[in-house]
Amino acid sequence: MTAPINSTSFKPVKTFLLKNKKDFSEGWVQQVIYENPGLLGIGNGISAKDKERRQPTGGRLDLLLEDSEAETRYEVEVQLGSTDESHIIRTIEYWDIERKRHPEFEHIAVIVAEDITSRFFNVISLFNSAIPLIALKLTAIENPDGTVGLLFTRVLDLVRKEPEEEPGATEVVGRNYWKNKTCDEVLEGIDQIVNGIKTFEPRAQLSYNQSYCGIWVNGAADNFIKFYIRKRFFYADIRLERTTAIDELLENSELKYSYLQISGRYRLTLEGVVNEQSLKIIEALCKQAYES
């Protein structure tokens, strides 16, 4: 039997501000993150894409990180000491530039600072309701061997929200509209999933909109799943919080998936008719999304 741990096993951690140490700089922190992007704890499978990325406005984005599986990029700005107005504006500006450069990705702004005061926390929170933004507090730790550790604590998380839709996106167009834009196998695959949904919600109906297909239940929209149709394949976006259990379930299946952090949905990429085993997994996820 393992001996119980007592208070003598405790040793306080010594922390300090990097800003007050001349041997450390923002460039040093950037390099550490660039070589170890997982330290931030903001995504699975995250990797460094670029550092000191030149911007059209003349500035440089500290770090561009990417989760290729989730089709998400993170625009990261680092500040030693306390955050300030210029830090916040710079982060949002570079996020906006990068999302316009690469609209095929989801983009999330990330503010890193040693101190986020209550005044600026309130300002960042206001932006967070309109812009996908994460705030991380950076803490430097002095290790017993003289090396330095960095701890990143999330003080403001991402607000989940559906991406804004363009005018006319939800205009009902009917099945023939999509029949002329895709192949029969794609529509058949969607029909399979909708039929699976009807096993636990018989009132469910597929709504054919101009930009996507959704679900109506009892005459009202309930888009716990959305279908985005392409010529030879389609996306099934299921509204669920990301969990290790669901990730493992999908990884052990034949389904190709990613996670959309901004909208909080699992995205399944399907080429048409769905096999029976995959269909059971999709039905179970849809049932979980519907009940939650």
Q: Which two tokens stand for residue 77?
A: 């700005």
- Tell which CATH classification among 3.30.300.30, 3.40.50.300, 3.40.1350.10, 3.40.50.10490 matches the domain 12-156: 3.40.1350.10
State phi, psi for 145 to the nearest 5 degrees.
-85, 5
Task: Strands of 8-147 (E only): list them.
Answer: 14-16, 47-54, 60-67, 72-82, 106-115, 133-142
Residue 34 C-beta-side C-alpha neighbours within 13 Å: 17
Q: What is the pLDDT of residues 129-186, one digit of tens each?
A: 788 889 999 999 998 888 899 999 998 887 665 555 544 456 778 899 999 999 999 9
**H or E stretch covering 267:** strand 265-270
What CATH number labels 175-291?
3.90.1150.20
* Residue ranges per structural domain of the chain: 12-156, 175-291
Give the residue among 45, 48, 50, 47 at the shortest CA–CA distance from 69: 45
Question: At which residue do the structure tokens 């460039």 appear?
Answer: 27
**Sign of the dihedral through C-alpha 113, 119, 121, 123:** negative
Instruction: State the pLDDT at residue 104.
Output: 78
pTM: 0.66
Q: What is the pLDDT of residues 14-48, one digit of tens each?
A: 998 999 988 899 999 999 999 999 999 987 778 99
Contact (CB, 8 A) for 87 and 79: yes
The answer, yes or no, to whether residue 234 has pLDDT greater than 60, is yes
The more confident residue out of 287 and 159 is: 287
Q: What is the pLDDT of residues 195-208, one digit of tens each?
A: 999 999 999 999 99
C-alpha 110/C-alpha 107 separation (Å) is: 10
